[in-house]
Structure 1
């Protein structure tokens, strides 16, 4: 009888012990912050002591890569552990990100995310901040792409993104500001909607003249063409009203949102979430997805003018303060020792916006350039005191897509078996194991075009990188200049494709200044042959999928999909008391 009771006791206690042994998770994701913007990665003009402390108390990943150089595809890859090209979120050349909230596009419901996996294993999950992976499909309340459909129990933040139009001092900036004029000219030139509407009008007029169509048909189609133009203009000219939206779960709580108070409000929500989980003794996964430092640059009043790098530096330092509050809250609640904390950025700094952009350090290129180190090599840190020794440095190539399988390993959860997973478990590397990257190859896309491939042989210490594409950088720089707004992916924007590809040893030449040739290195042909074969096999693993970021859904907003509070005015404001944060700089 005693033996039976002991077995019953063990059957109850052991699962509890295993559950308690699992860590909590906090993911801190910056926006457009380059690897050269953070102190522990070499910056000495922007103060980031709280981010730097994560490096001191954990691991610094010096070759951690985003799967894309713009936010929407990059963030989708981070959550799913898969290349965006596999599920239609890579995009074509324009614009590779969601522009309007009133667009029927977003992360496909067939995709599985690691927050969903954590939720299935008993975790309370929350996303605070930027989503930018879609919202509605058929009507304004269906929320088919809402964070709640992908594993987040709680959502407080932006269903879209912060952008220049969210600056209240530049209303209608999409049409009137200097950057806006370039944006409009470049981003919409390929559609030529005005020309299309005019051509349709003249075409229908000609058909009517020759009596191929009736007046009724002429009037109807002319009305449709010009209505599309008027609708597009209305959404662009009122972008702040329609796109700068704040939500709590399913409800719009602020429209247009006040960017300047957003970081303190997000911080307050993060603190409340952590305190509630501690009080209820619940395990949690929290993602704090910052708008910092995506334009519009509107830090809270306490941070303005405090950095040595203008509004951009103020914005980064504001984010660092927020991260400090989150980390201090973990410490105060006794959660630090068993919390897996991960800091990264979604893509490199935006070089084409001058002083409003950040730094990608020694690496060439930036936001938008899917094959450039500056566009995809992210400032990344991981802290987990129970498993990661302070001061650990991981120099092997890793990916943001690795988070999914790493979390799965920690939770002892199986990976999805019905799809290709591009991420790999990096827990051994974080634990200090001296071993090669778990990736033989990493494929770097710009939109749906392959621009570069990384190759890490199992022997030796060298990581090779083949560049299939080169960018139209301004002379003496590694950015495309304000006239292009951001570097694009294809030949019509000045991109050239290399045959044979340029080959670099990124281990010993991280700045990619010295291309390898057959004359300079006997391994040149051997390495390129291996990479060529890997590319062929990789392309065979791709299947045809619906393009979520096709021009049609993106450039023609649907009014019936528009989120709105206080209909029909679409205007409301959240009242929040921020005094409890005691903000000091």
Structure 2
């Protein structure tokens, strides 16, 4: 009898003990922040003491890579541990990897996310901030792509993205005002074309070349295009700039300048509630900072040395400091896994409104360039990660899924290819190579570069298939183009054979090697060529979420509060934050 009671005791106590050993998780994700914008990665003019403190108390990852150089594909890969090209979220060779709130494109429901895995293991989960992975499929309330459908118990934030049209003055903050002028010009040009087409159709009807039914159908199509253009460019503030709490639209258009303080307040409340209820949690705070429009809260304006961009960065660092201080106040620091990163590199084509990618070439949108995909990343978990740890091996944001799975002792999905790898040993200080033999760097659905880490030696190689049409003397493209896009029609050229770099000793990619300069040249190229062939064989045909039919907005999918005005305000008292900035 005593033996039975002992077994019962162990069956109850051991699972509780294991649960207590599991950490909480806090993920802090910036938007368009380059590796050159953060103090611990070399910036000495923008103040980021709270991010720097995470690095000092934990690990700094110097070769941590996004799976894409634009936000929607990158964020989808981060959550799923898989390359976006595997599930239709990579985009195309054209700049269509952007999700409108009234379009049916979004993260496919067949994908599994690490927040869902944590939820299945008893965690309370929340996303506060930017989502931008879709919203509706067939009607405005189905929320088929909503964060609640992918493992987040609670959502407070913006289902789309902060963008230039979210500036109430319709000007890209910190830049030249060019975008507002372009939208006005485009609006009137489209009206002129639509009216001309309509009058032409009437003329054709008058001369009996077409029937009234044809006139009506073509006119509806034409005027729908005009209305969509007007709504999403000329009046995008009203339709794209939406804030939600779970399923409800609570502010439209939202006030960009109060987003970060409100998000911070929500994060504090979530942490306090979890502590009070003794619940384990996974929290993602997904910042809009520093994506244009740049409109930081009033207390932060004019306080940095880098105009509105620096103000916006320092506002985000302040928010991170509040979150970290809350963890400390609640006694949660020692057993909380904290991870900070950015979704893609700084956007260099927007001038003073963009940040810095440090020594690395390239910019947002360039899927194979270091500046577009090498992210400022720091991780803290005092129970497992020694202060001052530096990880120089190549790692990926896709590694977070299997790393969380390993921490939770949860099995990985067996019905799909997982591209991420467990990096917990590296974070713990293990002296070993990257868990990735190869990392494949896509721009849209086109392979632009490949990393190769042999199991022996210390060198990581990079084959660069794409060369970008940079402006002379820079590593960014024309401001008229907004970014270097992916295909040849955008000026990209492809190298055959690819340019080959020793990315360990030449991280700025200034010295491509050749057969004459390095005896390993052909051997390395042969290995990479074989790996690319095998990788492409692992890809299956999937629906592209960014084809024009999915990309085009539909009025019946448009979220709207206070219909038909689509206008509402959330009243929030920010005084508990006691915001003071020196």
Which bin holds the TM-score, normalised by the shorter protein?
Answer: over 0.9
How far 1:381 moved relative to its partner?
0.5
Q: Partner residue of 1:324?
A: 321
> Equivalent of 1:426, from 405, 409, 423?
423
- Aligned 8 A contact 1:183 1:485 in 2: no
Q: Partner residue of 1:408?
A: 405
Q: Partner residue of 1:35?
A: 35
Matched, 1:384 2:360: no
- Aligned 8 A contact 2:366 2:443 in 1: yes
Q: Deviations over 1:120-143 (max 9, x none)?
A: 000000000000000001111110
Give TM-score, length-normalised by structure 2.
Answer: 0.96
> Equivalent of 1:290, from 287, 290, 295?
287
CA distance in 1, matches of 2:580, 2:105: 41
Give 1:50-449 correspondences, 5 Å limit. 50-170=50-170, 177-181=177-181, 213-449=210-446
How far 1:231 moved relative to its partner?
2.8
Matched, 1:579 2:575: yes
Q: Quick one: structure 1 residues 69 and 498, their matched pair in 2 at CA, closer, same or farther if it must change by over 3 Å?
A: same
How far 1:247 moved relative to its partner?
0.3
Give 1:450-469 correspondences, 5 Å limit. 450-469=447-466
Q: Deviations over 1:349-382 (max 9, x none)?
A: 0000001100000000010000000000000001
Q: Quick one: structure 1 residues 496 and 202, their matched pair in 2 at CA, closer, same or farther if it must change by over 3 Å?
A: farther
> Equivalent of 1:568, from 550, 564, 570?
564
Matched, 1:493 2:490: yes
- Aligned 8 A contact 1:159 1:245 in 2: yes
Q: Quick one: structure 1 residues 171 and 378, their matched pair in 2 at CA, closer, same or farther if it must change by over 3 Å?
A: closer
- The two structures, once aligned, show a CA RMSD in angstroms of 2.1
- Aligned 8 A contact 1:265 1:576 in 2: yes
How far 1:487 moved relative to its partner?
1.2
How far 1:342 moved relative to its partner?
0.2
Q: Quick one: structure 1 residues 523 and 93, their matched pair in 2 at CA, closer, same or farther if it must change by over 3 Å?
A: same
CA distance in 2, matches of 1:172, 1:269: 27
Q: Deviations over 1:233-272 (max 9, x none)?
A: 2332110000111100000000110010110100000000
Q: Partner residue of 2:474?
A: 477
Q: Quick one: structure 1 residues 495 and 55, their matched pair in 2 at CA, closer, same or farther if it must change by over 3 Å?
A: same
CA distance in 2, matches of 1:202, 1:395: 64
Q: Partner residue of 1:537?
A: 534
* SS of residue in 1 equivalent to 2:128: strand
Runs of at least 5 residues in structure 2 that lack an aligned partner in the other structure: none
Q: Quick one: structure 1 residues 538 and 210, their matched pair in 2 at CA, closer, same or farther if it must change by over 3 Å?
A: farther
CA distance in 1, matches of 2:365, 2:138: 30
Q: Deviations over 1:305-347 (max 9, x none)?
A: 0000100000000000000000000001000000000000000
Q: Quick one: structure 1 residues 42 and 360, their matched pair in 2 at CA, closer, same or farther if it must change by over 3 Å?
A: same
CA distance in 2, matches of 1:108, 1:332: 39
Alignment: residue pair count: 578
- Aligned 8 A contact 1:172 1:240 in 2: no
* SS of residue in 1 equivalent to 2:169: helix
- Aligned 8 A contact 2:172 2:293 in 1: no
Moved over 4 A (4+): 180-186, 192-212
CA distance in 1, matches of 2:572, 2:240: 21
Q: Quick one: structure 1 residues 538 and 323, their matched pair in 2 at CA, closer, same or farther if it must change by over 3 Å?
A: same
- Aligned 8 A contact 1:182 1:484 in 2: no
How far 1:458 moved relative to its partner?
0.5
Deviates more, 1:513-522 or 1:164-173: 164-173
Q: Partner residue of 1:515?
A: 512
CA distance in 2, matches of 1:356, 1:424: 35
- Aligned 8 A contact 1:70 1:96 in 2: no
CA distance in 2, matches of 1:292, 1:151: 24
How far 1:223 moved relative to its partner?
3.4
CA distance in 1, matches of 2:452, 2:171: 47
CA distance in 1, matches of 2:527, 2:114: 32
- Aligned 8 A contact 1:131 1:159 in 2: yes
Give TM-score, length-normalised by structure 1.
Answer: 0.95
Runs of at least 5 residues in structure 1 that lack an aligned partner in the other structure: none
* SS of residue in 2 equivalent to 1:483: coil
CA distance in 1, matches of 2:211, 2:28: 60
Q: Quick one: structure 1 residues 246 and 15, their matched pair in 2 at CA, closer, same or farther if it must change by over 3 Å?
A: same
